A and B are shown apart, each in its own frame.
Chain A
Amino acid sequence: MDRVKINVNGADFEVDAGQNVLSACRSIGVEIPFFCYHERLKVAGSCRMCLVSVGTPARDRKTGEVVKNEDGSVKIAWLPKPSIACGTNVSEGMHVVTDSDAIRQCRGSILEFLLLNHPLDCPICDKAGECKLQEYANAYGNGVSRYCESKNVKPKRREVAGKIILDSERCILCSRCVRFCEEVIGRPIFGFTKRGSKTEISVYPGGDNDSNYLLNAVDICPVGALTEKAFRFQMRAWFLRTARSISPESSAGVNTTVWTREGRIYRVTPRDNEFVNDSWMSDSGRYFHIGRGARLSGARLDSSACDLPYAIDRCVEILRLSNFAIVASAFQTVEEMFLLKALAKAAGAPVYMVSHLGEDDGFLVSADKTPNLRGAFVTGLISEYPPDNLSALAEKIDSGEIKTVLCFDEDLKSLGLGSAHFKKANVIFCSSVENSSAVGAKVCVPLEGEMEKGGIWINRQFRMQRFEAVVERPKWAASAVEFLSQLLCRIGGADFETPDVGLLRSVIAERVPQLKGCADIPDCGTLIDASAFAGVKFPEKAAFKFDPASVGANGG
């Protein structure tokens, strides 16, 4: 990319050409306050918070030559008024001043304007603690108000589409939400009504204002004008810890941040990844963890509770006894799948999987409703796209070929196995959630849930991404990786040691050529070589940052 030389506050820097002054200054660590600019949206230039002084090398009108000062330095033609940094592109030799008295005064005055009619709502405002207006008022504001008239009154506590609470008084008219809906959702939902200081953010009354991506407007609203109804008055932002996670909603592999306090999940927000989801995520993905069903909350043997180590001993015994089949789940991490593959190989056990298909919205919810089916291909668990039921396994049980089923997560009874199969074969059910498989199972092993483990998932682009544990695993649940390594050691066939996940990853990196870099994945994930799976027919449609035709063709 082209580079240009600019001068910021008297120091020379080289930055990428073609960007605006705001992002150029950010890239060199010079902070310019802003409200309306958003790197994933078009520039609106409506808040004027980002004012800076800009000058370019002066040129002679006739000859077009650069004018020099007496001392030989280039003469800078400063623009007489400050310019908005978000709407000005950098050019060669540009001079920018971000910290002069004049600019500080600009910022103070802009904040004074914004705060004229702003309510004193911070104590009851959900944005407090992460509000740009609060932060900038503190950093650049005048500290006092000269306004003694009564403030404008605007509608408060209005519901939008049943999931957003809109407070027009807090709106600073930055139009981020308006632009988001027009540019990303593709349909205007928010808009401004009235004029002057009475301008209000509003939605069309009675219209269909819903979209599965609407809550992104809450994330990008710099103030508390748009707040999430489900998170309303739940917890202050400053009490919440964050963890880097991935949405298990579908194979899109949307990057998320999960906000927790004391082991309770309060909200899920998108995490910026320019290769996967930009700054967006679906609303359904935000609440995915809530609808996961009851936890399998303790080890069980023949439906009566027992100790976890005892249950694991019984598993090993049963698995040693006879031929078993494995039913893997695409919610398992690459690490678990790798261990499972080693187990299958050692015991000669066939592996079954099922596909969970649903609607593909062509954006960030894909047709495959599992996060890591690609991982099963890459680790070698399966080589063909799995069917949506387990009738093949049912036949094998009927014929007596399979005597034991080691099942992860899947709800066997809804996938073609009846009570007769549960009688004929011993089912070992390992999962974090309770379902019909647990009812007739010989042994139930409670495992940690998706939010309690860290690992690697491979999304629809064949991009491997790592996520970390959000909350602590309950004491009664087993870590899936530990459980599988135990099985592997005791049933035999482990020709590597798996004392911890880090070491396990380096083993994987050595043995699976596509996963070479898996011990050290950058934040944006790594695209892996998918040429081996070019023949597989995946159901995902072309979508945001995803072209099914290019997968496999790109070769990594």
Chain B
Amino acid sequence: MAIVVERKRLNFFERLYLPQIVSGLIITLKNLFRPKVTLSYPDQRPTLPDGYRGGPTLVKDSQGRQKCVSCQLCEFVCPSKAIRVTPGSIDPDGEYFYIEKAPKEFQINMLRCIFCGMCEEVCPEKAIVLQDEFTFAAQSREEMIFDKQRLYEAGGTLPDKIMKWKRVKDNADLERDSH
């Protein structure tokens, strides 16, 4: 049912009009001499609080290893379906052959991403991190789909004490040839 709101009638003083303008100008003048609280964005950038959730990025560990192992949990948990991981194998002759798995391609559609941080929370490798970048602009929709390279560039290296994949035992004696 519609709700009818009665409009209050203006009294004589209010209808005079000029006093209202003057009182408004007084407020403006007062504020002119108060200290500034706004930022001249984009020339000035805000200082972001800790734990700020900007755009998701992929990071490397302190040894420069790309951390994502393409477990696809972030793709699963992402509520806006912004992430698409194409899993792949690590070259068996490469340095990190024993980690076996890494993404072949990793895409985040920044138009879909809602910066909720679920991917960061779910990631078992701490490989995806929401960092400080919050302005994304592009000429086309395609440009807003960030690929693996771009995500790693944006992510950089994150110093990390836990070295989950660092080898403690040398099992080079266990030959890896096939049967």
Contacts and interface: CB of A to CB of B under 8 A. Distances in A.
B89 A156 contact: no
B72 A239 contact: yes
B109 to A, nearest CB: 16
Interface stretch (A74-82, A122-130, A394-402, A541-549): A122-130
A73 interface: no
A157 B179 contact: no
Interface string B166-179: 00110100111111
Nearest to B72: A236
B15 interface: no
B76 A123 contact: no
B92 interface: yes
A130 to B, nearest CB: 14
Nearest to B170: A153
Interface string A160-179: 11100000000000000000
Nearest to B92: A157
Nearest to A203: B179
Contacts of A206: 179
A235 B174 contact: no
The binding surface of chain B is classed by DSSP as loop
Contact of B70 (A120, A153, A207, A233): A233
Contacts of B76: 236, 238-239
Contact of A153 (B69, B89, B92, B169): B169
Nearest to A162: B178
Contacts of A160: 178-179
A20 interface: no
A490 interface: no
A156 B92 CA distance: 12
Interface in B127-179: 164, 168-169, 171, 174-179
Given A124-B69, A153-B169, A157-B100, A235 B87 contact: yes
Contacts of A122: 71, 124
Interface in B103-119: none
B64 interface: no
A238 B97 CA distance: 26
A72 interface: no
A120 to B, nearest CB: 7
Interface string A28-61: 0000000000000000000000000000000000
B98 interface: yes
B101 interface: yes
B61 interface: no
- Interface residue tally on B, bucketed by range: 20 to 34
Contacts of B176: 155-158
A75 to B, nearest CB: 52
Interface string A105-121: 00000000000000010
A123 B76 CA distance: 13
B125 A158 contact: no
A209 interface: yes
B101 to A, nearest CB: 4
A156 B169 CA distance: 14
Interface in B78-100: 87-89, 92, 97-100
Contact of A123 (B92, B97, B125): B125
Contacts of A232: 89
Contacts of A234: 87
Nearest to B89: A233
The 7 A-B pairs at the shortest CB distance, nearest first, are namely A159-B178, A123-B71, A124-B101, A153-B171, A233-B87, A236-B72, A123-B124
Given A150-B168, A233-B87, 18 more contacts: A122-B71, A123-B73, A123-B124, A124-B99, A153-B171, A154-B174, A155-B174, A157-B97, A159-B179, A162-B178, A203-B179, A206-B179, A207-B179, A233-B89, A233-B100, A235-B87, A236-B72, A239-B76
28 contacts: A122-B124, A123-B101, A123-B125, A124-B69, A124-B99, A153-B169, A154-B174, A155-B174, A155-B175, A155-B176, A156-B98, A157-B97, A157-B100, A157-B176, A158-B176, A158-B179, A159-B178, A160-B179, A161-B179, A162-B178, A209-B179, A233-B70, A235-B87, A236-B72, A236-B76, A236-B87, A239-B75, A239-B76
Interface of A: 120, 122-124, 128, 150, 153-162, 203-207, 209, 232-236, 238-239
